[in-house]
Amino acid sequence: AFCAQGIEKSFGSVEHVKDIFVSLENYFVAIESKDGKSIDEKQIRNIITDAGYDVQKIEVVSDSVSVIREKYEAK
Q: What is the CATH number of the domain that holds 69?
A: 3.30.70
- Percentage above 90 pLDDT, the chain: 80
Number of domains in the chain: 1
Range of lowest pLDDT (36-40, 41-45, 58-62, 71-75): 71-75
The pTM assigned to this predicted structure is 0.87
Q: Identify the domain containing residue 43 by its residue range.
A: 2-73
Q: 50 to each of 6, 7, 44, 54, 60, how far by Cα in Å?
A: 11, 9, 10, 9, 21
